[in-house]
Chains A and B, each alone.
Chain A
Amino acid sequence: MSQRWTLLLLGLLAPSFSFASQSFENTAIVRTVELGGSLVHVTTTYAVKALEAGSSVYTIALEQQQKERTSWAEAKIKGQSNALELQDLGYDEESNTYLYDVHLPKALGTDASINLVFETVETHATYAWPPTARQEDEQKLKYNTSLFIISPYHTAVQRTKFKAPSNRVVAWSTPENLDAFTLENPVTKSGATITYGPYSNISPSANAAFIGAYQSTIGIHYFYDYPVLAISEYKRAAEISHWGANLNIEDEIHLRNAGPKLKGQFSRLAHQTQSFYQKSSPHVLSSMNLHLPAGISNAYFLDLNGNVSTSHLRSTPSVARNAKAPHYSLFEMKPRYPIMGGWNYSFTLGWDSPLADSGSWDAKAQKYVVAVPVMTLFPSTVIDNAELKIVLPEGATDVDVITPFPASVAAISNHVTYLDTTGRPTLNFYYKTLTDKHNQVVYVTYKVPFSAHLKKPLAVATAFMGLFTLALAGRRVNLSLHRKL
């Protein structure tokens, strides 16, 4: 299985020399940037017209900064829900950009047009400015990006919309020297939306010449009323137990408030005053609600000092697999202390859930199938490093996985725990920068022979038998030198 990953990785890294010819024209590009905290969702809609018949591969270009920020990308045809095949070509030296190839479902004829939606999630794209804030201060973030949406094709018209979380925007930059592209105001603000453009008649821009001549950086400085959260380490261990009909999930989470650093010191008085008047600072995390699966039991919320007694779990019973309404248990998490800017809080969250909720028996393949979610969704939070460990039952064979997206490293190991004799096969996946879009499910299929189920009771029975035999013998052996009369 690990071999497959290697192949896939090799495929990703292999340099591609195919460069798109002028087979398309962009009739319009609209980029919508939803400004947020640690996550910024960018949706770019390309209205594409084919210039040649049989054009089926459309190339999208990103600049280095965008590429580094992007941790999730997906291309679709507007109005359809199925994602198109997206091939990451990596760095292109000729144009000094990073390219993606979108494979269209069927080739376009000449002058045929199509609307492509390219959706990305950028992480760590914003930063707090000013970088420190007092406890009572508001939180202001800055987001910088480049003005033009670059593309290897000619673009008739393009515009960029920034959607701020509220109407209050501190400042935004006004680009200059745009007479070649527009004669009107280069930037307009209406409500919470700031629009750059429309800019028309842009020659193919994914090349060093255009970027050097026209590209510039624009920045938005805006108020953000929620804490900016980042999880630097996220370790999930999922343990499948057939004896207990149980899927145990334990998350070790190292949470950090990535907003402005606290200036001065924390004042409990000020915090209590604020919460008394119900206007707590936007950059302070005092509690958060998480959605855990339905039907869970024995949930625990611990940190290194033991149980955190301030939280509540409102669990709901398990639901049928294809039920319409999404049911979940609500976990009202309240850390031991309010997490101010720059503060850390590491904790462990775990629960048991019935194996029947996520696993089943595939009669056709004669295998068990278990669905393990990659992570618990922390709303608008980036996970920098994640590790997913799936512990299968002792003696599981023919292990196969279906992953929603590739891991940076995948490995298989052996894990020996509770009264095991040979240990349990364990799948390890390591991920970088996960976002809310990565909240998906890994499917594991495996076989467990009947004899493997019997290992544990046999081992325990043998141990006790040995103990009793020893005691039996010990009682009957007389080691004394003098026979008692």
Chain B
Amino acid sequence: MPVAYPLPKDLSPATVANTASLLRIVALALISGAAIASRLFAVVNFESIIHEFDPWFNYRATKVLAEKGFYEFWNWFDPTAWYPLGRVVGGTIYPGLMATSGVIYSFLHAINLPVDIRNICVMLAPGFSALTAWATYMFTKELKDESAGLLAAAFMGIVPGYISRSVAGSYDNEAIAIFLLMFTFYAWIKALKQGSAFFGTVAAVFYFYMVAAWGGYAFITNMIPLHSLVLILMGRYTNRLYVAYSSWYAIGTLSSMQVPFVGFQPVSTSEHMGALGVFGLLQIIAFSQLIHSHLPSKQFKTVVLGSVISIGLLGTAAIVTLTVRGSIAPWTGRFYSMWDTGYAKKYIPIIASVSEHQPTAWPSFFMDLQFLIFLFPAGVVYCFKQLRDEHLFVIIYAVVASYFAGVMVRLMLTLTPIVCVTAAVALSELLDTYIDPQEPDASAEVADVAAPSDNASAATPSKKVKKAAAAASAAPSNPISDLVNANAPAKTKKASKSRGIFGLDTRIAVIFNTTMMLLFFVAHCTWVTSSAYSSPSVVLASTNPDGSQHIIDDFREAYYWLRQNTAEDAVVMSWWDYGYQIAGMADRPTLVDNNTWNNTHIATVGKAMSSSEEVAYPILRKHDVDYILIIFGGLIGYSGDDINKFLWMVRIAQGVWPDEIQEPNYFTPQGDYRIDDQASQAMKDSLMYKMSYYRFSDLFGGQQATDRVRNQAVPKVGPTLDYIEEAYTSENWIVRIYAVKKEDPLGRDLKSANAFAEGKKRKRTKPMTRRRAII
């Protein structure tokens, strides 16, 4: 048996197994370390701070949980959100994330480690990413072997598509959900493979955790039934499938209904009907199989088959009828927007206005996944070649997730794990082939034409050895793999191969190439993570001329001013993006926030922002608004400001008041969106425009004022305000806060009161009636 390179011969199998096991543990530990460390750019470059928008709410809720306990949290009614409506927080959130942090917090305090709750929240996502890497390892191990698992874990640990949602401080549901997703799928595959009710239950428990943690649980709810359905249709129904599915569905559904926000949805909405239908179908099939095995008569079988089919049809008909009658809720708008990308823009502008709900641009696939994206199809092909039950699962997952990732940027997250898994499978297969020291037997080639191919041999007894060999392939240096492969020739002798790789040069060429690809992948991941995904967005950074970092901290400055120097019950109106941040950092009531449940309320704010002062003032007063907060980037060129979001406010307001607010009015006659002299009258009169550019041109001291975001000249004579007054502007003018004036004590309207105060005489429209002389 020729080998390409010499191997040590005097190693016992136990030594090899133990070494491989130790290497696996070390590799997994290093992967966990890399996964955590690469997510700490945000903490190192900035500080331990909660990022973006939604995490601020989660953080605030977690603080309530940590300080007041679980029951207070469960019954928490937040009167400061959606003023004056309030929000029943306990019943409208997925509490999994907060509960997780709360448990960790209590545990650490119980062992006298007084870690700040903020640090727990900040570090939760990196911590769970290490667990995700481990879950991916377990999952991939079931598909191929440990070496593929280790590769997948390494990919999962550092792939930007997942890091984008799980950097330190990104305290959002996705932070723990991806781990739960992968682990549920792993448990499901394991349950299916073994027909084990235990793993079915494990899958159900993690499914419950997932339901409690993320709205994306519907993905699992539909993936597992879809997989089962495909298996049934392919004629792969087994008792193992029956046991696994039934135990998962029964326990998973019942426990998921314990989450208040989910409630009876699993039996009353269309999204969950697939799972119920497959459950019913499985029962029918199992029943028919039972009958089948007990009845020999052919006619009777036909009868049973007929009745089974009719029962199935009846069940389906019942579901359809219930849906039509309304007992089962129809598909939601969010669901439709999955299939028709133009749907949201037409009917639910709030969803469409969020940038992460836009269709994915193709470069972001490369940005988020780099070389994994072109290994991905190869891995799927590998699955087709194997086509065991779990490979079917991966194929279905790959197809579904690819579609969703194309529809919405945000769903790139669900695609990422499966890309890592399949890419790792493909790459590990490649490495297996090229590291394997055996050379094909040239003389035996003719004789062994019919010998089993390499792929088929994976299921033969030599599997174990190959595993060990493959595990070593993940380790970077060759001497180790030599050592682990020591006994390979001895055991695999009987499967002498007719196909394979000749010589060392080909091996080195391919392995070198692969290694370089992996190295570039690491470099790419590090670069993308540090430059694109590690900004807290609450704190902005720029670079000084000398290269040092300059922090732009306007958001916290303004929020802290609100917190310290306004009345505790002062109501702040802002666009909904900033609702959670105001509640979290300024601790003031807000009209609308990122929990966009009430479209009318948001449209009201949109209307107030987009109409003139006279129209907006009654709205503001009716909602007890004390302060209006806007974001203005014109001075330093911060492009995510409110003027750039303004058209969405107009659109959303137009959806509710089509007679009063019309989008075309805010464009110039040429159809441009401008803020300079040519801006339309409606634009210039709008509260948002006035607040953004109030006294802006004064700052330039007579020179031409320029808006650096839109690169347009700002009119020299700026807007004037009568009903509101400037209360605070942050250092770089990013946050501007205006106070709403109270009604004039003399009963005049504020415009004329202002004019009077400035010494302007009111022009009388009618001549005064002369007093008649008394005769």
Contacts and interface: CB of A to CB of B under 8 A. Distances in A.
A307 B114 contact: no
A306 B49 CA distance: 7
Contacts of B556: 305-306, 336
Interface in A428-473: 463
B114 A306 contact: no
A309 B551 contact: yes
Nearest to B115: A418
A344 B563 CA distance: 10
A268 interface: yes
A268 B112 contact: no
Nearest to A417: B114
B560 A418 contact: no
A216 interface: no
A307 B47 contact: yes
Contact of A265 (B114, B558, B585, B726): B726
A436 to B, nearest CB: 25
Contacts of B557: 336-337
B560 A303 contact: yes
Contact of B561 (A337, A416, A418, A419): A337
Given A269-B729, A305-B556, A417-B114, A343 B564 contact: yes
Interface string B540-578: 000000000001010011111101110000000000000
Contacts of A309: 539, 551, 553
B111 interface: yes
Most buried by B among A266, A306, A310, A416: A306
A419 B113 contact: yes
Contacts of A344: 564-565
B731 to A, nearest CB: 8
B49 A272 contact: no
Contacts of B48: 306
A266 B730 CA distance: 10
Nearest to B696: A269
B567 to A, nearest CB: 12
Given A303-B560, A305-B556, A265 B112 contact: no
Contact of B111 (A265, A266, A306, A463): A463
A243 to B, nearest CB: 15
B695 interface: yes
Contacts of A264: 725
B649 to A, nearest CB: 24
A265 B739 contact: yes
B703 to A, nearest CB: 14
A264 B557 CA distance: 20
A336 B112 contact: no
A346 interface: yes
A337 B733 CA distance: 12
B728 interface: yes
A190 interface: no
B447 interface: no
B728 A266 contact: yes
B699 A336 contact: no
Given A266-B727, A303-B560, A306-B47, A336 B553 contact: yes
A72 interface: no
Interface in B696-741: 698-699, 725-731, 733, 739
Contacts of A10: none
B560 A267 contact: no
A84 B560 CA distance: 48
Interface in B555-613: 556-561, 563-565, 585
A264 B739 CA distance: 11
Given A268-B730, A344-B565, A417-B112, A336 B560 contact: yes
A269 B699 contact: yes
A253 to B, nearest CB: 13
A345 B47 CA distance: 21
Interface in B497-524: none
B551 A268 contact: no
Say whether chain B's binding surface is mostly helix, strand, loop, or mixed: mixed
A310 B553 contact: yes
A420 interface: yes
Contact of A304 (B560, B561, B695, B699): B560
Contacts of A419: 111-113
A305 B559 contact: yes
A306 B731 CA distance: 17
A308 B554 CA distance: 11
Contact of A268 (B49, B733, B739): B733
Interface centre among B563, B565, B695, B739 (most CB of A within 10 A): B565
Contacts of B539: 309
Contact of A343 (B559, B565, B729): B565
A337 B561 CA distance: 7
B560 A305 contact: yes
Interface string A5-48: 00000000000000000000000000000000000000000000
A481 B561 CA distance: 65
B564 A346 contact: yes
A419 B110 CA distance: 10
A418 B115 CA distance: 9
B726 A267 contact: yes
Given A265-B725, A418-B112, A345 B49 contact: no
Contacts of B561: 336-337
Interface in B42-64: 47-49
> Which of A266, A344, A345, A417 has its CB near the most chain B CB atoms (within 10 A)?
A266
A383 B557 CA distance: 25
A418 B114 contact: yes
Interface in B325-384: none
A265 B626 CA distance: 13
Given A265-B726, A336-B557, A305 B113 contact: no
Interface centre among B559, B698, B731 (most CB of A within 10 A): B731
Contacts of A345: 564
Nearest to A463: B111
Contacts of B558: 337
Contacts of B553: 308-310, 336
A120 to B, nearest CB: 33
Contact of B563 (A266, A304, A417): A304
Contacts of A420: 112
B735 to A, nearest CB: 10
Interface in A298-322: 303-310
Contacts of B733: 268
A336 B563 CA distance: 12
A320 to B, nearest CB: 34
Nearest to B563: A304
Interface string B175-189: 000000000000000
Nearest to A303: B560
A469 B284 CA distance: 49
A264 B741 CA distance: 11
A269 B699 CA distance: 6
Interface string A230-242: 0000000000000
Contact of A269 (B111, B113, B564, B695): B695
Nearest to A254: B564
A402 B564 CA distance: 37
Nearest to B47: A307
A423 to B, nearest CB: 9
20 contacts: A264-B725, A265-B726, A266-B727, A266-B728, A268-B730, A269-B695, A269-B729, A303-B560, A306-B556, A308-B553, A336-B553, A337-B561, A337-B731, A343-B564, A344-B564, A345-B564, A416-B112, A417-B112, A418-B112, A419-B112
In the A-B complex, list the 7 residue pairs whose CB atoms are closest, starting with the nearest. A268-B729, A309-B551, A336-B557, A305-B556, A307-B47, A344-B564, A265-B727
Interface of A: 264-269, 272, 303-310, 336-337, 343-346, 416-421, 463
Given A268-B730, A337-B731, 19 more contacts: A265-B739, A267-B729, A269-B695, A269-B698, A269-B729, A305-B556, A306-B48, A306-B556, A309-B551, A336-B556, A336-B560, A337-B557, A337-B558, A337-B560, A337-B561, A337-B728, A337-B730, A346-B564, A463-B111
